[in-house]
A and B are shown apart, each in its own frame.
Chain A
Amino acid sequence: MTELVATTPGLYPLPDDAKDDLSDLKGHQKEDLIDGDEGEEVRNVYDRARREVVDVQTEAGLDRVVEGQLRWDDMLAHPLTVHDAVETRGLVRYYDNNNFYRDPVVTDDLDVDGDVAAELEALSGLTDDPLQAVLPGPYSLASLATDEHYGDEAEFLAAVAEFLAGEAGAFPEVETLWLLEPSLVTDPPGDGPDARASEAVDRVAGAVDADVVVHPYWGALDETVHAHLLDADVDAVGYDFVTEHESNLYNINEYGTCDDVALGLVDGQNTLVEAPATVADRVEWVREGTPGADFDRAYVTSNTPLFYLPYTRFEAKVRTLAGAVDADPTPDDEAEEVSA
């Protein structure tokens, strides 16, 4: 029997009043973005917004609560753009999205920073529900950055992994850690780097005493990247079934996966709100499509972070995810038949 856990990959949109307040307080230019050293007024707005998105999750009934990463002006590049050893330069396109972030240029040793840990400390005071930390995966973070210090791709990736491990090691107690790795799909590592990408994930995963989910999205992993990723000591790999069906099923059926799995079944980049029953059916569809697999636990999630959406649609998607787990229509005995 599979335990269904409703959650999200984090990175939420700001509530609309916080968008306005922060626009006024921080400004609209590159130099106005978060540098890890914001003043009290700005901190207060983020504190208020954090409480709001925590309430959205707990009221909906998600099984894991994230901080929302509302301060992450540079999306997944955030842990570097606030780092002292990093210079932020021009705006660059964020993947193939119509979004932009400041190019983080690493110019010195990446030591432990503690920025993300501080956010989680703030989160832990707001709810007693199980917490979920979110970090960029080391491969994606290294791909988003420019290295002017380490000088070697492998060394840089290892340094980014070490840095993220340090960050994760400073976290308060969390139930789950998600490592978001879209670059493993969009910019797949070749022969050699694929093994290193897996080792880098392993390094970060080893730094926490929590369940670790590594979640690639925007398609399916190349077979070899997938196979290497399974070598990392993680508890679950994520599959984006919104953008890719067959290759994801193929990867699971051909190579297996971890005991747990994360299923991206709600579209994080479209305002069309799925019905909980539709998502429950999709869970069933994955089970039927992977007859050889017997997942201990399946995280039911959106494929991508939700900051792409208007705030009201983000709230609706959270409710869908929570409802999908409750709406699971499949009786236990049938579920066993499917996975047998």
Chain B
Amino acid sequence: MADKERFRPADHPNEHFLLTTVVGSYPKPTWLHRSRDLHEGGDLSRDRAPEIRESDIDLDFDDEDWVEAKDDAARLITNEHERAGLDVVTDGEMRRSEMVEYFAHRIDGFEFNGPVKVWGHNYFHKPSVVSDVEYDEPWLVDEYEFTSEVADAPVKVPLTGPYTLARWSFNEAYESTEAVAYDLADLVNHEVERLVEAGAQYIQIDEPALAQHEDDHAVVGECLDRIVAGLPDDVRVGLHVCYGDYSRIYPEVLDFPVDELDLELANGDYEQLDVFQEPEFTTDLALGVVDVHHAEVESVPEIKANIRKGFEVVPPERLVVSPDCGLKLLPREAAFEKMRNMVRAAREVEEELDAGEIEVAGARAGAD
């Protein structure tokens, strides 16, 4: 069990420590999108001043420029996370196109046939599994090494879980989705080992497809067993789940080999919180305390009230504070303000806990 205490900053001001972090993704700066357009051949469709002729526009943007742009974005957003005061940061997944596509592009056995609809005019390039999946090039080691070098704070590595990768792909080659997921889990295990070798201490498996289908917890449980096989005990492993029917997966998730369960709950106004109250929640809870689908920034008092909801499930020693899900669909300013208010709220709640001003259900106050 990797306790969150090991990520406590040296200058943490309070005795209590509610670790603050993010789920992972963050809005990309517009210039990064434009850089991608340029790298992919240039986009001349946008309005320009009449005196600028098409031939005057320099579209030269080679691979090196594109790498530099991604490095710059990763540095910028890592720093933005630190400026918000987060205890554990990511690079906002600046290098990743989309949570399934990015990985499928790096795994042998996947192919792409074009975009498919998610809703309205929102599409994603849903890959097809056309043969046995195999590890090809590294997925995230470079991303982790770069981020940890530019960050002062500890870095978390989120990666899309094998069940979600399998569920959100077309399966042309395997007998079942489960079979795809298990093979992918072995590849995730391999990648996590490499990340740990590179120094990663905090891994988060994202499984948004969990809690949508009957008995999917059994498949995810088996996947997680494979993912953590051979992993040192001091590596903290989290599991992120969102927008599902949590009663389908609780209490089964308590048997998963993870240190932390990260849950979207603010969006539904904690309607599903009671699911986790019985039987006792025995792992750490990373509680979603800001909604990622509303650009309106929650105030510090509102977020404090959300954080206190967490104490209905776990004592402060086992509570981690985070947004509901990736912030990437928000305007960037709103994303930043949400993080900053979240950190302020956490620090104020810690102060109040230190001062004994918050009553926490005593029976469960023992994480140690």
Q: Which single member of B113, B119, B121 contacts A19 (CB below 8 Å)?
A: B121
* Bound CA span A312–B118, Å: 17
Task: Assess whether B114 is interfacial by the CB under 8 Å rule.
Answer: yes
* Bound CA span A22–B117, Å: 13
Q: A28 and B122: CB pair below 8 A?
A: yes
Contact bitstring A301-340, B, C-beta under 8 A = 1, else 0:
0000001111111000000000000000000000000000
B96-141 contacts to A (CB < 8 Å)? 113-123, 126, 128
Task: Assess whether A127 is interfacial by the CB under 8 Å rule.
Answer: no
Q: Could you say which residues of chain B place their CB within 8 Å of the CB of A307?
A: 116-117
Q: B114 and A312: CB pair below 8 A?
A: yes
Task: Assess whether B213 is interfacial by the CB under 8 Å rule.
Answer: yes
* Bound CA span A307–B212, Å: 21
- Report the minimal beta-carbon distance from B186 to chain A, rounded to whole angstroms: 23
Q: A27 and B117: CB pair below 8 A?
A: no
Q: B167 and A98: CB pair below 8 A?
A: yes
- Report the minimal beta-carbon distance from A154 to chain B, rounded to whole angstroms: 27
Task: Assess whether B209 is interfacial by the CB under 8 Å rule.
Answer: yes
Q: Could you say which residues of chain A place their CB within 8 Å of the CB of B128?
A: 271-272
A249-294 contacts to B (CB < 8 Å)? 269-272
Q: Which single member of A14, A100, A310 contacts B113 (CB below 8 Å)?
A: A310
Q: Could you say which residues of chain B place their CB within 8 Å of the CB of A32?
A: 120-121
Q: Could you say which residues of chain B place their CB within 8 Å of the CB of A272?
A: 128, 170, 172
Q: Could you say which residues of chain A place their CB within 8 Å of the CB of B209?
A: 98
* Bound CA span A147–B309, Å: 32
Q: B120 and A310: CB pair below 8 A?
A: no
Main secondary structure of the interface of B (DSSP, over half): loop
Q: Which single member of A96, A101, A271 contacts B119 (CB below 8 Å)?
A: A101
Q: Could you say which residues of chain B place their CB within 8 Å of the CB of A94?
A: 119
Contact bitstring B180-219, A, C-beta under 8 A = 1, else 0:
0000000000000000000000000000010011000000
Q: A98 and B213: CB pair below 8 A?
A: no
Q: A270-B170, A270-B172 are in contact. Are A98 and B114 (CB under 8 A)?
A: no
Task: Assess whether B168 is interfacial by the CB under 8 Å rule.
Answer: yes
* Bound CA span A44–B114, Å: 23
Task: Assess whether A126 is interfacial by the CB under 8 Å rule.
Answer: no
Q: A23 and B113: CB pair below 8 A?
A: no
- Report the minimal beta-carbon distance from B167 to chain A, rounded to whole angstroms: 7
- Report the minimal beta-carbon distance from A284 to chain B, rounded to whole angstroms: 24
Q: A19-B121, A73-B120, A98-B209 are in contact. Are A311 and B171 (CB under 8 A)?
A: no
* Bound CA span A244–B18, Å: 49
Q: Which single member of A14, A22, A98, A309 contacts B118 (CB below 8 Å)?
A: A98
- The 8 residue pairs across chains A and B that have the minimum distance between CB atoms: A310-B114, A100-B119, A272-B172, A310-B113, A271-B170, A23-B121, A271-B128, A33-B120
Q: A residues within 8 Å of B by Cβ?
A: 13-14, 16, 19, 22-23, 26-30, 32-33, 73, 91, 93-94, 96, 98-101, 269-272, 307-313
